[in-house]
Amino acid sequence: MEKPVIVTVDDDPGVSRAVARDLRRRYGQDYRVVRAEAARDGIEAVKEMRLRGVEVAAILADYRMPQMNGVQFLEAAMDLYPYARRVLLTAYADTDAAIQAINVVDLDHYMLKPWDPPEEKFYPVIDGQLDAWLRTDRIERSELRVVGDRWSAQSYKVRDFLARNHVPYQWMLAEDPEGAQLVSAAGEGCHLPLVVTADGTTMESPDQSELATAVGLSTTPATDFYDLIVVGGGPAGLGAAVYGASEGLNTVLVEAYSSGGQAGQSSRIENYLGFPDGVSGQQLADRARRQALKFGAELLTARKVTMLEPRGQARVIGFRDGGEIAAHAVILATGVTYRRLEAPGLDEFVSRGVFYGAALTEAPACKDTEVYIVGAANSAGQAAVYLSGFASKVHLVVRSDGLEKSMSHYLIEQIAALPNVEVHLQTEVVGGGGSDHLERLTLSFKGEERVVDAQWLFVFIGAEPYTSWLGETIERDARGFLLTGPDLVQGGRRPRNWPLRREPYYLETNVPGVLAAGDVRAESIKRVASAVGEGAMAVALVHRYLEKH
C-alpha cells in the first residue's frame, strides 16, 4: 500500500524546505512528505491525491500566504480530507488569528515559528497529531452497523453509547435500502435498533451490557479484591485511576456508561492547562483512559454500582446486575447529571429532540435547522459554539439577565462573534409539544409567551449528584452532595477513628477509607482541572490511610 502523506504548504521557499526536511528526517520511513510553495499548488496536489485514493494524515499550512491564507487553505483541504490533522504554522504576531481558526476550521494545533530544536518544539506536536490520526476511524464503511428509526430514543442511546466509548459504527435508517435489507435479513418481528457486528452477529434493541461485551469493553472484574476501587469514570475518577495504578495500587475503575463523564460531552475545552488550542472532552477522556490502562488500571464499563458497605477493614461495592467486589479503599467520583427541565410536554421527547447534555452524535443531524440551548454556564456556551458550525441558527435561552456571572469570558466573546448565535436573556422554556418527536417550544419572556418551531433542544441547567444509591452509609448535604473533611467536622460529625491531625483529610467521608473527589463532593470547584486534581489528591490520602491500617 502507498504510504500516507503529510502535506506542507509555505510560500517561503527556505521555510518550506526546512519543514519538509524535518518531517522526512523523523517520519520518512512511514509517511511520504509532499510540499508546495503556493496555496493553489497545494490544493491541486491534495485534489490529485484524493482522486488517486491516497490517504493524507496531516496538513501543515503557513498562515501568511498571498493567494489564500493558511486558514482558508485548511478549510478547502478539509472538504477533501476531513480526517486529516490540521496544523497552522504562524508567527507570534498572528497568534490571535490562529486561535480564531480553532473554531473556523476545527484546527487541531497551531505552531509558532521558528521551532528549533525540532526534537523539543516540533516533533512532539506532530507525534501527537499522527497518533490521533492513526486512532481515528477513517473507513467510510464501518464494521459495526446500527439500523434504527430517526426519532427513536433507544436508537439514540445505542449510538450515544458507542460514540462516547470511541467505538466506530455506521448508522443507517431502517427505511434506507441497505438498512431495510439488514432488517429483512434479521427476520420477521425484528426489534429496532438492530446492531450488526463484523462477523454478522445481530443484536436487537441491545442493552448497554450486551453492547459493551460485543464491542470488547471489559465488564467483568478480574478479581474480587483490590487495593483501590474508583467509582465513576469522569475527570476525577480517571485522575484517581491514573495516579492509583501508576503508584502501584491494584486499581479498578467502575463506570456505568462511558469514560469522561459530563466533561466527555464537551465539544471543546479551551481553558484546560496544557492545551492552548483546546481539546474536546472525548479526546481528553480517551487519553486519560489509555493512560490509566498503560499503568495497569482495570476499567469496567456498563456496570452500575448500587451498594457500598464497610465490612471490617474491607470496603465492598455491589452491582445492580449482581455480584460485588471489595477493596481496602474506595474513591467516590460519580459526578453529577444535568437537572431535568420541568416544563410540560418535554419529558416524553427525551432523546427524541430533547437532550440533556451536548449529545454530540446529533450535531450533524442539526445541519441547516434552528437549535435551542437552555443554560448559562460554560457547558451551554461550548455547546452553542460547537452547534453553530452545523445549525443555521442557535438560540441560547438564558433565565438571568446576563452571562457574566456564570460563563467564562472567552466563551462570551466567542458567542458574541458568531453571527448565527442569538442570546435570549430573561427567557425560559415553559412548554413543548410534537407528535413522534419534538416539534415546538413555548418560550416565556418576562411573562409573555410565544410558540416557536423547534426540533432540537439541548439542556444544561445545573447538576444533581448521583448519590441516592448510598443510602445512610455516607453523609450528604441537603442537595445530595457528599460531605468530606472540614464540612463533616464543622457539622459536628467527626467520624469514628478519624485521624486527629493538624491538617484534616479534606476528601475523606464519614467512613474511613472512603473518599470523595470531583463534582460529587460538596463545595468542590466544579471544573475539569480541579476534579483531576482531587482525584490525584484522593490517591495520596489513600496511601496515608493504608499506612495506618
Where, residue-wise, is CATH 3.50.50.60 in the chain? 225-335+465-547, 346-461
Contacts with 517 (C-beta within 8 Å, 6 or more apart), sequence order: 236, 237, 239, 240, 331, 332, 333, 507, 524, 531, 534, 535, 537, 538
pLDDT of residue 51: 67
DSSP state of 2: P
Q: Are 542 and 512 spatial neighbours (Cβ–Cβ below 8 Å)?
A: no
Q: Does domain 5-135 have CATH number 3.40.50.2300?
A: yes
Where, residue-wise, is CATH 3.40.50.2300 in the chain? 5-135
Q: Listing from the earlier edge strand, what are the strands of the sheet with 438-445? A: 427-434, 438-445, 448-453
pLDDT of residue 313: 93
C-alpha distance from residue 228 to each of 218, 233, 524, 532 (Å): 18, 14, 22, 17
DSSP state of 94: G
Assign domain 225-335+465-547 to a CATH class: alpha beta
DSSP sequence for 65-83: -SSS-HHHHHHHHHHH-TT
d(CA 534, CA 236): 6
Which superfamily does 346-461 belong to? FAD/NAD(P)-binding domain (3.50.50.60)
Residue 250 grid cell: 491494584
d(CA 513, CA 347): 39
For residue 473, count CB atoms less than 10 angstroms from its CB and return exposed for 0-12, middle for 13-18, buried for 19 or more: middle
pLDDT of residue 138: 61
Q: How many CB atoms lie within 10 A of CB 548?
A: 9
DSSP state of 348: G
Nearest one of 389, 348, 351 to 102, comparing CA atoms: 389
Secondary structure class of 255 (helix, strand, coil): strand
**Number of Cα atoms under 13 Å in the Cβ half of residue 401:** 1
Q: Hey, which residues does 87 pair with through a beta bridge?
A: 60, 109
Where, residue-wise, is CATH 3.40.30 in the chain? 145-214
Residue 446 grid cell: 418576562
Digit-by-digit pLDDT tens for the chain (549 residues) are: 579 999 999 988 888 899 999 999 999 999 999 999 988 898 888 888 886 778 999 999 888 888 788 888 888 888 788 889 999 888 766 666 666 666 656 778 888 877 788 888 899 999 999 998 988 766 544 578 899 998 999 999 999 899 888 888 889 999 988 888 888 888 778 899 999 887 778 899 999 999 999 888 999 999 999 999 999 999 999 999 999 999 999 999 999 988 887 777 777 787 788 877 777 778 888 889 989 999 999 999 999 999 999 999 999 999 999 999 999 999 999 998 888 998 999 999 999 999 998 777 888 889 999 999 999 999 899 999 999 999 999 999 999 999 999 999 999 999 999 999 999 999 999 999 999 999 999 999 988 999 999 999 999 997 789 899 999 999 999 999 999 987 776 554 555 555 544 444 689 999 999 999 999 999 888 888 899 999 999 999 999 999 988
d(CA 34, CA 389): 30
CATH of 145-214 given 3.40.50, 3.30.70, 3.30.1380, 3.40.30: 3.40.30
For residue 312, count CB atoms less than 10 angstroms from its CB and return exposed for 0-12, middle for 13-18, buried for 19 or more: exposed
